[in-house]
Amino acid sequence: MTSGFQVDPWQLQWNTLDLSALDRTESVFALSNGHIGMRGTLEEGEPTGLAGTYLNGFYEQHALPYAEAGYGYPEDGQTVVNVTDGKIIRLLVQDEPLDMRYGRALDHHRVLDFRTGTLRRDTVWESPTGRRVRVRTERLVSFTQRAVAAIHYEVEPLDGDVQLVVQSDLLANEPIESASRDPRVAATLNAPLVAEDAFAEEYHAVLVHQTRKSGLRVAAAMDHELDTDDGLRCEIQAEDDLARLTAAVDVPKDSRLRVTKYVAYGWSARRSAPALRAQVDAALSGALQTGWKGLLAEQRRFLDDFWATADVEIEGDAELQQAVRFALFHVLQAGARGESRAIPAKGLTGPGYDGHSFWDSETFVLPVLTYTVPEAARDALRWRHSTLDKARERADALGLKGAAFPWRSINGAECSAYWPAGTAAFHVSADVADGVVRYLAATDDTDFERDHGAEILVETARLWCSIGHHDVHGGFRIDGVTGPDEYSAVVDNNVYTNLMAQRNLREAVAVCERQPEVAERLGVTAEQVHAWQEAADKMVVPYDEMLGVHPQSERFTEHARWDFANTPEEHYPLLLHYPYFDLYRKQVVKQADLVMAMYSRGDHFTSEQKVRNVDYYEPITVRDSSLSACVQAVMAAEVGYLELAYDYFAEAALTDLHDLHANVRNGLHIASLAGAWTVAVAGFGGMRDHDRSLAFAPRLPEALTRLAFRLTYRESRFAVEIDQDSASYTLLEGPSLTVRHHGEGVPLVLGTVERRPIPALPAREAPSQPRGRAPHRRTPKVF
């Protein structure tokens, strides 16, 4: 399998001009700071696979299409909008437009640099009439100045003097191909922005627009610095959907034209057009004051800090080393400066899933952020908190108490039009609660607990008590819900859901004890707390005594097995080739569900149960979701199938670089990328964080000679280094703490390195997967 990218530990390089791969490279080369997202399109705007600039939280609303609507179905959908494009810089060489579809690309490299946080391009282009120019660009979306992006653009004539005309645009309502198959949604997104204000003067321009239905307002502004040895003719204009700076200049050979473009974005549901314009103008002034070099330096410092706290080093597999850093870089981009906004399933790298956020955020992305950039995890949880009113309304509409967080959303309101895998996937509320619990245990952030966390735990506990009931035997059942596996729906007592709800209920009890004043403010009664405790204690967790395994939900193990032998490989993903009717009634698992429960609630299962369950579910799990491989890897590693875990590690980490799901054009799979970290840390590092403490059980697959990672825990930062025989733990800063290594306590004190041997593992043969669904094996490239 070739991905087209050069293997390098700190960057991702693409060396060809393959126009058919433009759309996928635009996703992997996307830059973002969690607030602004810019796809990695070529500066000249065309050719493009799928142009896109996104602002976190900025969406258009549309009616949800139903053939047969039902009571309680959400009425409105939300779709991320391609906002005003500030990346475009067109170039006229003598009188020919630079367009990579014409003439010849004599050289063309693009590099995403994980340490500088920039996307660089170096192109030597020969025009159809044989004139050559070199264009070098570097762009960034600033981690330090949240509203700002910048592009440094340089043209060098290679064959004597040449006249160049540069046109730098802000372009709104850029024509794009709709990602939606529904014509009504596509229509909404065709020219979604209505012009409100346009202004241009000297090198500076602003456009302000508003969406038609959601009523959100966006302002985009640009300013420029031009550097050339010769005379320059410049003009600027702005009208409804286009602002353009045009600069014409004669550039002698051996000389260059340099343009720095600064772009600022802002959006608001409330601020007026003048206020928003002032906001982006101010952001631009700040960027100009910092200057291009200053922005580069700030970006570098930000990333140096990030890598010092978050890097994962892998020896023995150079491609995986690159993939894991690529993954961490994109996870950081998705979450760094969202600041109380959601982390969408695709980050801000593409329009896939309409820009919605799912359980992916709390369950897959937040564990990474919690232990590397805890403030980003806190901010994402604050977003959930800010949507509590909508979650309460949703619960009320469903006849339930407390808060029901949406299955998919941009602004917090449920947008899923398919209730069996949307509304019924109530586990999302326990996942949000779990994100809070993990964050609190890892940070001891009592302010967050008091102001945000406690309320989330209490409202979700109320939800569970109203969804579930005590049966005649006293057991607490949660019937008619959907677990993580979307090839089963509306089931009774899904083990994952029940165990996550159990933790949610217990943690709500505990937080009310720790924060009695908050409990009082939230109107929590002693009866309520007692009911939560009772429900948790009596939670039903089905077990199949005869098979000695946990059914993922009641009676699951009694269903007919899917006919894997007669399912052709090209019929995956199954959801595109078979009716849900049939998937739902058979034993076939889309993505780790019971296996997920054994990771998230590993404290509930014995080691023997874990082995038996992995052996049972592996042959019926088809991984039609990119969220599965990383979880299967973690559990395979725990039960001792290290080589299988290694294959899944590569699958999770390379999902996007190898386009394994053939849909990278719509954006990256942020949860799977986060999963790459999880496999390193929780899989081969064996980290578990149950019961407010950290435990490790490291073990490496044969190919890896060394794995090292760093974690932030409470006030401390420490490093874990693993080789084939031993692991060492080093406190890098902060107070001493104790972790566990294969069950044994290890005190971490500044100035000492604690090394421990890795206990031998009994050999056991790993189970197989359904026909045609073995992990994407690859030969590690060694450099």
Strand partners for 706: 315
The answer to the question of whether 293 is labelled as a binding residue is no
Among 203, 358, 562, 684, binds ligand BGC (CB under 6 A): 358
Write out the two tokens for 239: 């009208």
Distance, in Å, from the CA atom of 684 to the CA atom of 698, rounded to the nearest integer, reads 5
State the nearest-atom distance from the C-beta of 636 to ligand BGC, in Å. Answer: 20
- For 424, 505, 554, the CA distances from 533, given in Å and listed in that order, are 24, 7, 23
State the nearest-atom distance from the C-beta of 486 to ligand BGC, in Å. Answer: 5
Q: Tokens 């050979």 label which residue?
A: 253
**Cβ contact 413:422 at 8 Å:** no
Residue placing its CB nearer to ligand BGC in the complex, 265 or 599: 599
Write out the two tokens for 529: 């707390």
Residue placing its CB nearer to ligand BGC in the complex, 292 or 496: 496
State the nearest-atom distance from the C-beta of 159 to ligand BGC, in Å. Answer: 50
Under the binding rule (CB under 6 A), the answer on residue 349 touching ligand BGC is no
Among 354, 360, 434, 449, binds ligand BGC (CB under 6 A): 360
Among 353, 371, 532, 709, binds ligand BGC (CB under 6 A): 353
Strand partners for 166: 91, 247
The answer to the question of whether 360 is labelled as a binding residue is yes
Distance, in Å, from the CA atom of 742 to the CA atom of 740, rounded to the nearest integer, reads 6
Under the binding rule (CB under 6 A), the answer on residue 345 touching ligand BGC is yes
Distance, in Å, from the CA atom of 112 to the CA atom of 139, rounded to the nearest integer, reads 10
State the nearest-atom distance from the C-beta of 356 to ligand BGC, in Å. Answer: 8
Residue ranges of alpha helices (H) inside 593-732 are 594-600, 607-617, 628-639, 642-654, 670-678
Under the binding rule (CB under 6 A), the answer on residue 11 touching ligand BGC is no
Write out the two tokens for 772: 């045609």
**Segment contacting ligand BGC (CB under 6 A): 353-361, 366-374, 454-462, 490-498?**
353-361
Write out the two tokens for 195: 């012009």
**Segment contacting ligand BGC (CB under 6 A): 65-73, 164-172, 254-262, 356-364?**
356-364
Among 359, 464, 476, 562, binds ligand BGC (CB under 6 A): 359
**Segment contacting ligand BGC (CB under 6 A): 282-290, 354-362, 509-517, 769-777?**
354-362
Specify the DSSP class assigned to residue 100.
T
Residue placing its CB nearer to ligand BGC in the complex, 306 or 353: 353
State the nearest-atom distance from the C-beta of 483 to ligand BGC, in Å. Answer: 10
Among 44, 455, 486, 721, the active-site one is 486
Q: Which of residues 381-410 bind ligand BGC (CB under 6 A)?
A: none
CA proximity to 27, closest of 667, 671, 670: 667
Nearest residue to ligand BGC, using CB? 358
Residue placing its CB nearer to ligand BGC in the complex, 333 or 625: 625
Quote the distance between the C-alpha of residue 367 and its chain's center. Answer: 12
Residue placing its CB nearer to ligand BGC in the complex, 443 or 666: 666
State the nearest-atom distance from the C-beta of 360 to ligand BGC, in Å. Answer: 5
**Segment contacting ligand BGC (CB under 6 A): 6-14, 186-194, 309-317, 351-359?**
351-359
Under the binding rule (CB under 6 A), the answer on residue 625 touching ligand BGC is yes
**Segment contacting ligand BGC (CB under 6 A): 357-365, 538-546, 549-557, 660-668?**
357-365
Question: Is 486 designated active site?
Answer: yes
User: What is the arrangement of strands in the sheet containing 148-157, beginning at the earlier edge strand?
Assistant: 5-6, 11-14, 104-113, 118-126, 132-141, 148-157, 257-268, 217-227, 204-211, 193-201
Under the binding rule (CB under 6 A), the answer on residue 591 touching ligand BGC is yes
Query: How many residues bind to ligand BGC according to rule CB under 6 A?
Result: 12
The answer to the question of whether 610 is labelled as a binding residue is no
Residue placing its CB nearer to ligand BGC in the complex, 192 or 675: 675
Residue placing its CB nearer to ligand BGC in the complex, 460 or 628: 628
CA proximity to 265, closest of 329, 216, 302, 333: 216
The residues, ordered by sequence, that sit 6+ positions from 698 with a Cβ below 8 Å of its Cβ are 684, 685, 686, 707, 720, 722, 727, 741, 742, 758
- For 302, 398, 412, the CA distances from 416, given in Å and listed in that order, are 37, 14, 12
Among 549, 671, 676, 681, binds ligand BGC (CB under 6 A): 671
Among 174, 486, 651, 659, binds ligand BGC (CB under 6 A): 486
Under the binding rule (CB under 6 A), the answer on residue 41 touching ligand BGC is no
The answer to the question of whether 307 is labelled as a binding residue is no
Under the binding rule (CB under 6 A), the answer on residue 481 touching ligand BGC is no
Distance, in Å, from the CA atom of 589 to the CA atom of 623, rounded to the nearest integer, reads 8
For residue 572, the tally of other CB atoms under 10 A from its CB is: 16
CA proximity to 249, closest of 180, 167, 179, 128: 167
What is the maximal distance between C-alpha atoms in the chain?
90
- For 39, 471, 505, 507, the CA distances from 476, given in Å and listed in that order, are 48, 6, 12, 17
State the nearest-atom distance from the C-beta of 751 to ligand BGC, in Å. Answer: 44
Active site residues: 486
Q: Which residues bind ligand BGC (CB under 6 A)?
A: 345, 353, 358-360, 484, 486, 590-591, 625, 627, 671
Binding-site residue set: 359-360, 590-591
Binding-site residue set for substrate: 359-360, 590-591
